[in-house]
Amino acid sequence: MTVYNFCAGPAKLPDEVMIKAQQEFRDWNNTGCSVMELSHRCKEYIAVYDAAVASLKKLLNLSDEYSVLFMHGGGRGQFAAVPMNLLNNGTANYFQTGSWSKAAVAEAQKFGNIENEIVTFNNELDQTQVKEFKDWNVKDNSAYVHYCPNETVDGIEIFETPSFDAPVVADLSSTILSRTMDINNFDLIYAGAQKNIGPSGVSVVVIKNELLARSDDKIPAILNYKLTAENGSMFNTPPTYAIYLAKLVFDWLLDKGGVEAQEKLNIAKAELLYKAIDDSNFYSNKVAPQNRSRMNVPFHLANPELDKLFLQQAELQGLVALKGHRIVGGMRASIYNAMPIEGVQTLVEFMKEFERTHG
Ligand SMILES: *Cc1c(COP(=O)(O)O)cnc(C)c1O
C-alpha cells in the first residue's frame, strides 16, 4: 500500500530524492565515504555546499544583492536572530496572523522594542481574513516589518506582494519554493527546512547584503548574519547532511521545471481539496478563500466525535498524520511540494466515502 504522509513538519520528502540519498548513502561520489562523514572544509563537501547555494539562487531568481546562509536553530532560531541582528535599539513592526507570527513576537520582545498588531478579522461570512497591506500600520523609521506569509497551524496564507517603508522580513518556513515570489520585494526571508526544503536541523536565510552591516559583534556568533555570510555558513560545523539533502531537493525541483511548474501543481492540489470541503456539508474550513493556504489545509468534521474514527480509517488507507494541530483541533492536511497529486486524490476519495458512510 502506498503511504501518503500529510505531516506538517518534519514533512514528506520527494520519493526520488530519498531513493538517490539511499543509493549514495555509504559511498558518495566514489569517495568510499558518506557525505555525512566528510569534513565540511574539504573540497568535495564545499562543492556540495556551493551547488546547494547555486541551485537555490536559481530557483528563487536571486540577484547578487542577496546572500544565502544556511544556519542552525530552525525557524525559532530566526525568531531570535532577526531582532538580535536587525533591531539596533530601534523599534520593529510585527504583524500577527496566527500562531507562528505570534510566537515570533514573543521571542523578539526579549531583545527590544516591538510594536505588534493583529491583522486578521472575521468577515461577514465569519471566516478569518487578513487585512490588506495598506491597512497595516507601520511606524515611521521602523527598523523592519516582520510577518508570516503562510501560517502553518492556522492554514492562512497571504498572497499580496509586500511594499512597506521599511525593510521587509518574512518567515517563509512553510511556503518557500511553493509559488513564484519576487524576492526583490523582501529584505530578509528565512525558513526552517523541514517543511518544503529538507530534513530538520538547518534553516535557510536569504538576506539583502546591505542589511549585513547591522549585525553587531556582540551577538552570539552562530546567530550573527554578517559572520555567517563572511564564513560561507561555516563559522562552525554546519548541518552538513541536511544541507546535502536540501541540495537534492533543490535539484529535484529544478529538474521538474522549477517553482513555476511546482506552483501550478500546488494550485491544482489545493483546489481539489478545498473543493471537496466546500462541496460537502460534513467538512468545513473557516478561512476566507483569498487567504486559504495552499500548503496547509485545516478542516473540521461536522461531528468532532467522529475525529478519532476518521483518523483511524484514514490510516488504514495509508493516509497518515492528518490530525490537526492541538490548538486548532480537527484535521490538517499538509500538501507541500513533495506531496504528489495522487495523494490528494486518494484523500478526497476517502473523505467522500467517510462522509457517505458516517455523515
Ligand atoms: C515550523 C515553523 C516554524 C518553527 O520552526 P522550528 O524549526 O521548529 O523552530 C516557524 N515558523 C513557521 C511558519 C513554521 O511553519
Tell me the domains of the chain and their CATH numbers. Answer: 15-255 (3.40.640.10), 258-358 (3.90.1150.10)
- Ligand 1 close to Cβ of residue 155 (< 6 A): no
- Ligand 1 close to Cβ of residue 20 (< 6 A): no
Q: β-pairing, 66-71 with 203-208?
A: antiparallel
Digit-coded pLDDT (tens) for 221-272: 999 999 999 999 999 999 999 999 999 999 999 999 999 999 999 999 999 9
- Ligand 1 close to Cβ of residue 325 (< 6 A): no
55 closest CA partner among 230, 165, 198, 239: 198
Whether 324 contacts 251, CB under 8 Å: no
Which residue, judged by its Cα, is nearest atom 3 of ligand 1? 75
Q: β-pairing, 283-284 with 203-208?
A: unpaired
Q: In the chain, at which residue ranges do the beta strands (DSSP E only) sit?
A: 4-5, 66-71, 91-96, 113-118, 120-122, 128-130, 145-147, 150-151, 156-157, 168-171, 188-192, 203-208, 283-284, 296-301, 319-320, 331-334
- What pLDDT, on a 0 to 100 scale, did the predictor assign at position 137? 97
User: What is the mean pLDDT of the segment spanning 208-226?
Assistant: 97
Question: What separation in Å is there between the alpha carbon of 170 and the centre of ligand 1?
Answer: 12
- Helix, strand, coil % in the chain, rounded to nearest 5: 40, 20, 40
Question: What separation in Å is there between the alpha carbon of 289 and the centre of ligand 1?
Answer: 24
Which residue, judged by its Cα, is nearest atom 14 of ligand 1? 173
Q: β-pairing, 168-171 with 145-147?
A: parallel
- Which residues are the active-site residues? 100, 171, 195
- Ligand 1 close to Cβ of residue 187 (< 6 A): no
Digit-coded pLDDT (tens) for 27-81: 999 999 999 999 999 999 999 999 999 999 999 999 999 999 999 999 999 999 9
60 closest CA partner among 185, 146, 161, 192: 185
